Amino acid sequence: MIRRWFSGAAWILALGCAGSLPQVTVEDAEGTGIPLGDLRAGRERYVAKCSGCHELHPPGAYDDARWAREVEAMAERVRLEDQDRRAILLYLQSMNADTIGNG
């Protein structure tokens, strides 16, 4: 019973954190040159894999090099699968404010 409560609470917290991240739009995909589905999948993985342990930073919080370091460090720490790491990094770097419109 307690496990269900914690599981439910974690899901609610993850949804709350995801709400602070902007949704990926067609314009984002066009501006970055990345397929919309890939950006959305990266965002979903970012929320699912990262929000359980810490606050989610918006993609514009760091430049591409810093995101690469952050994701790599966390991937090693939590044994993040390579496909999840790649999807998350693609989302964060592509949605960085400096990238939109420059792709």
Q: Where along the chain do its domains lie?
A: 2-94
Q: Residue 80: pLDDT above 50?
A: yes
**CA atoms of 83 and 6, how far apart (whole Å):** 27
Q: Residue 33: pLDDT above 60?
A: yes
The three-state secondary structure class of 8 is helix
Q: Residue 14: pLDDT above 50?
A: no
Check residue 96 and give its pLDDT.
87
Q: Residue 30: pLDDT above 80?
A: yes
Check residue 98 and give its pLDDT.
58
Nearest to 90 by CA among 42, 41, 47, 57: 42
What is the pLDDT confidence band of residue 82, given thresholds at 50, 70 and 90? Answer: very high
Stated pTM of the model: 0.76
Average pLDDT rounded to a whole number, residues 2-27: 62
Can you say whether the dihedral through the CA atoms of 38, 13, 62, 31 is positive or negative? positive
